Amino acid sequence: MGVLLPTGRRAARTFLLDVALPRLLATAERIAALLWLIATALVAAASSLRRDAPRAATAALRAAISIRAEVPRRYDAASRAIDSWGERSAIPAARRADAELARWSRRVRDRAVALTTTAWRVGQERRPRRIPRPRLWMVLAAIAFGGAWLGATAVWAALPDPSQLETAEVPYSTFVYDRDGKLLYTFEEEHREHAALADVPLILQQATIAIEDRSFWTNFGVDPGGIFRALVTNWREGYVAQGGSTITQQLVKARLTGDDQTLARKLNEALIAIRVTMRYPKARILELYLDQVYYGNRSYGVKTAAKTYFDVTDLRQLTLGQAALLAGLPQRPSIYDPVTNPDGARARRSEVLAAMLAAGFVSRDEAERAADEPILVHAAETPLSLPHVVFRVRDQLAEVFGSERAAYVGGYRVYTTIDPQLQAIAERQVKDRVAALASANVHNAALIAMDPRNGYILAYVGSVKYDDQDPRVRGQFDVAGLGERQVGSTFKLFTYLTALRKGYTPSTVLWDVSTNFAAAGQPQYRPQNASPSGSGAGPENGPITIRQAIRESLNVPAVKITSLVGVDEIVQTARQLGVDREWDASQLGLPFGIGAGGMTLRELAGAYQVVADGGVRIEPTLISRIEDKDGNVVRDWSQPEGTQAISPQLSWLMTDMLKDITDPNTSSIFGSWTNIGRTAALKTGTTDNLRDVLAVGYVPQLLTAVWMGNSDNSQMYGISSAMGPGVLWREFMKEAIGQLQLPETWYARPDGIIEKTVCVRPGLTGGVGSGLLPGPNCPSSWRTVEKYIAGTEPKTDDSAFFGRGCVNAAAERPEWLPDVMKWAQAYKNYRLGLPICGVSVRSVPQPANTPAPPRKRRR
């Protein structure tokens, strides 16, 4: 029915649609309504009628339902007949079809008269005049039934008039502002264009009915079977995988009852849906629904959606694949968005096609061809400021109000945390730095800047350029908020925090030598340190402290810590810092400890916020205040609550180690690239084959996280995390600190932190040292002051580490001993002039877990 017809057949179709069908529907509606009332009256009076009354009521109900079901079937049969007629015979044939439909209508009317007569006779026949003694249960039953009937009648009468579907008040728009009051965007529900059902192709109607309400043409507004199937499916899947509402119920919820999750509203919705079904033809209900429903990306109504996604203005030009994709969007438009999540959209389209196949609307060949159609989404125009910010604000509104739709109908005024001056600096710095690194095949970047003291996101750049469609950029995709990518060595924050939590210290010595971590019989796993040049393997440094391992971003010591403390403990630390991911520790290997697990830049920045604010977890926010349309404050983030996620001592000690990275006096590799002229903490990261480079760093008043790479995951060349995102971080921090006029401050040392002098060579690139109290053989120039959480400081000297003028190598585990021995033989005289005395296995203590920090709230 969606194809263009010759003139004669088009005229026949118009005749059938405009003349025959309205007459048929009007007659059927009147008859069905009459039978419905007869059945209701018979059920109500059943206590005083003969036993035949319920059977008569049932017959009337069945007749009403069958009449409703027969109308679309008769109309579809006539339509198919018209399609098969020739040009000249179309009009006469249409008139013959009309005559046939009229004869059927008269037969239905005769049937209704017969049923009415039977019901009347049953109602007139009373029981025998002998009235038995009334029994108490009969009296109570009569009273209860009468009360229920009166109550139901009152509820029914109080329901909204179904005609309000077409006269419902227009929802209020929601306005989004930056922190200075400049309008960024307006969320509104009225971005729609009307489409008559006659203009909606049959394939799109069928796709919608198949996936949303397959009993639409036959149900009476609600579908008990569909509700039961949804309950079973959701129980089996463990989440809300399928809804039980009919198309009519969804329309009622959208226009009349709202979406409050209460039983009373759901009951009202069902009753109103029944009334709507009695009042409106099914075709009209479907038309209203297709005009009402939200398809994502500011597109309300199917005609607007087709224009937005496919640049199609004539719906009859939609392919089956496009129709199926559109039909699948209303359930979860942001999740199945073909712009930001084409894989999710493709999977949802397959679900719709499978439902159409099961309903007999398409053949298997048609469904398979449609499933193979490429998803070519039209790049819709977006006349808005800071689109990535605006869309993440929408997501936060959905979290606050429980529905994405609240952003479009609530009439709110939303004030964001975005500082326009810092936003401009961030956008310019990202653009300039990406352009400067184009020769290294760097084409995209993202940046998030926040105040760690309150979680306010001050600048947010999701991509280098929003409307850049280059596959290496995909500017409309928000890498900062949606891009789940490996984060490289920036993940070592979680690894080493776990080590500190388990009793390890900044001076704990690990042997940085090439080590096979695979179990016996498994392929070797030998992680390598990154080369300072950004390519190839880095050197093996031998005995090195945790502080030095963090400063030089060495991989082998981090993997050893992962093995010693356990992956599950690192997962626990990440969750303490707010990374809410369903990581299965049993499925994660040792590479997890050096960044093999994916997360978004926003999640990473949120985790670093905890360390940057003394261990207090505050959920990052893009919204500072929400007001309703009358100016009343609905939600305020000006005094956020915080939870003490880790102890202040852990936070301070980690920050104390991270600040070494930006100091040229302690880090020759990173310090020269990342120094901002004041003390700052930083961690950089690089993933395998230079797919991603990152930097996350902070001062007490400002935290900035940077990602650089390509959206198509192509490799970069000749770049390191220091010279790429490290420099971008440095330049942004320097300019932002100046713009905000932030005073130079640093973190006060909390109680419970002590200092000890230990034996560690304070070299720039690692070196030898015991990490213990200096013994008689520790060179005097290696005596270094280190910080500890009280109780974890070393208690013994390093006599066992130093022999007389030589070093005793010690593997952390027996299975690592062969690799330490191999290294010791290669470095027999060692590069510092101290020979290796011998090799042994060092006992690594497994301290008890530190107690959980107390919960803390701040206002």
DSSP 99-157: HHHHHHHHHHHHHHHHHHHHHHHHHH-PPPS--PPP-HHHHHHHHHHHHHHHHHHHHHH
- Residues 413, 625: Cα–Cα separation, whole Å: 8
- Residues 429, 755: Cα–Cα separation, whole Å: 40
Q: How confident is the model at residue 274 (pLDDT cuts 50, 70, 90)?
A: confident
The CA-CA-CA angle for residues 618, 621, 623, to 5°, reads 140
Q: Give the model's pLDDT for residue 199.
A: 92
Q: Give the model's pLDDT for residue 373.
A: 93
- The answer to whether 416 and 176 are in contact (CB under 8 A) is yes
- The answer to whether 352 and 327 are in contact (CB under 8 A) is yes
Average pLDDT over residues 502-527: 89
The CA-CA-CA angle for residues 774, 777, 783, to 5°, reads 35
Hey, where are the domains in the chain? 7-124+138-158, 191-371, 753-841
Please tell me the least confidently modeled range out of 642-651, 658-667, 690-699, 786-795.
Answer: 658-667
Residue 330: is its pLDDT beyond 80? Answer: yes
Average pLDDT over residues 703-713: 96
Edge to edge, what strands does the sheet with 633-636 contain? 183-187, 174-177, 413-416, 623-627, 633-636
Q: Give the model's pLDDT for residue 779.
A: 84
Task: Identify the H or E element spanning 786.
Answer: strand 783-789
Q: Give the model's pLDDT for residue 762.
A: 74
Helices 263-279 and 21-44, interaxial angle, to 10°?
Answer: 130
User: Helix (H, G, I), strand (E, B), or coil: what is residue 636?
Assistant: strand
Residue 218's CB: how many other CB atoms inside 10 A? 15
Q: How confident is the model at residue 380 (pLDDT cuts 50, 70, 90)?
A: low
Average pLDDT over residues 608-636: 94
Q: Give the model's pLDDT for residue 852.
A: 42
List, for residues 798-817, the tens digit of each pLDDT value: 888 887 777 887 889 999 99
Q: Give the model's pLDDT for residue 42.
A: 47
Q: Give the model's pLDDT for residue 49.
A: 43
Please tell me the least confidently modeled range out of 72-86, 306-320, 660-674.
Answer: 72-86
> How does strand 413-416 pair with strand 456-461?
unpaired
**393 phi, psi to nearest 5 deg:** -65, -40
Which tops the pLDDT comparison, 9 or 530?
530
Q: How confident is the model at residue 847 (pLDDT cuts 50, 70, 90)?
A: very low
Q: How confident is the model at residue 533 (pLDDT cuts 50, 70, 90)?
A: low
Task: Provide the residue count of the chain.
Answer: 859
Q: Quick one: what percent of the chain has pLDDT higher than 70? A: 72
- Residues 442, 724: Cα–Cα separation, whole Å: 9
What is the DSSP track for 298-337?
A: T-BSHHHHHHHHH--SSGGG--HHHHHHHHHSTTSTTTS-
Q: Quick one: what percent of the chain has pLDDT higher than 90? A: 47
> How does strand 633-636 pair with strand 643-644?
unpaired
Q: CA separation (Å) from 519 to 361, 527, 670? A: 55, 14, 35
Residue entry with tokens 């036959």 = 218
Q: How confident is the model at residue 195 (pLDDT cuts 50, 70, 90)?
A: confident
> How does strand 174-177 pair with strand 413-416?
parallel
Q: How confident is the model at residue 855 (pLDDT cuts 50, 70, 90)?
A: very low
Q: How confident is the model at residue 542 (pLDDT cuts 50, 70, 90)?
A: confident
Residues of 789-813 as b/e, b for ≥16 C-beta within 10 angstroms? beebbbeebbbebbeeeebbbbbbb
Q: Give the model's pLDDT for residue 635.
A: 94
Residue 856: is its pLDDT beyond 50? Answer: no
- Residues 155, 271: Cα–Cα separation, whole Å: 9
Q: How confident is the model at residue 3 (pLDDT cuts 50, 70, 90)?
A: very low
Diameter of the chain measured on Cα atoms: 123
List, for residues 138-163, the tens digit of each pLDDT value: 555 555 555 554 455 444 555 667 77
Which tops the pLDDT comparison, 842 or 210?
210
Average pLDDT over residues 5-17: 51
Average pLDDT over residues 522-531: 84
> How does strand 807-811 pair with strand 836-841?
parallel
Which tops the pLDDT comparison, 582 or 459?
459
Q: Give the model's pLDDT for residue 661.
A: 93
Quote helix, strand, coil % in the chain, to nearest 5: 50, 15, 40
Please tell me the least confidently modeled range out of 20-29, 483-492, 501-510, 572-581.
Answer: 20-29
- The answer to whether 61 and 39 are in contact (CB under 8 A) is yes
Which tops the pLDDT comparison, 599 or 543?
599
Q: How confident is the model at residue 9 (pLDDT cuts 50, 70, 90)?
A: low
Q: Give the model's pLDDT for residue 194.
A: 77
The CA-CA-CA angle for residues 516, 842, 542, to 5°, reads 55
Residues facing 644 on adjacent strands: 616
Q: Give the model's pLDDT for residue 378.
A: 75
- The answer to whether 340 and 330 are in contact (CB under 8 A) is no
- Residues 616, 97: Cα–Cα separation, whole Å: 76
Which tops the pLDDT comparison, 756 or 81?
756
Residue entry with tokens 């392929």 = 523
Residue 503: is its pLDDT beyond 90? Answer: yes
Q: CA separation (Å) from 344 to 233, 436, 595? A: 20, 35, 26
List, for residues 85-130, the tens digit of each pLDDT value: 555 555 566 666 666 666 766 666 566 556 555 555 555 554 444 5
Residue 735: is its pLDDT beyond 70? Answer: yes
The DSSP call for residue 410 is B
Q: Give the model's pLDDT for residue 48.
A: 41
Q: Is the pTM of this model over 0.85?
A: no
Q: Give the model's pLDDT for residue 579.
A: 94
Q: Give the model's pLDDT for residue 224.
A: 74
Which tops the pLDDT comparison, 693 or 411?
693
Residue 686: is its pLDDT beyond 50? Answer: yes
Residue 859: is its pLDDT beyond 50? Answer: no
User: Token pair of 536, please?
Assistant: 């190839």
Residue 242: is its pLDDT beyond 70? Answer: no
- Residues 213, 225: Cα–Cα separation, whole Å: 11
User: Helix (H, G, I), strand (E, B), or coil: what is residue 495?
Assistant: helix
Average pLDDT score over the chain: 81
Question: Which of 307, 340, 283 shows the shortest CA–CA distance to 326?
Answer: 307
User: Token pair of 517, please?
Assistant: 């971590």
Q: CA separation (Å) from 564 to 268, 490, 559, 805? A: 59, 20, 9, 30
Residue 828: is its pLDDT beyond 70? Answer: no
CATH class, range 191-371 = mainly alpha
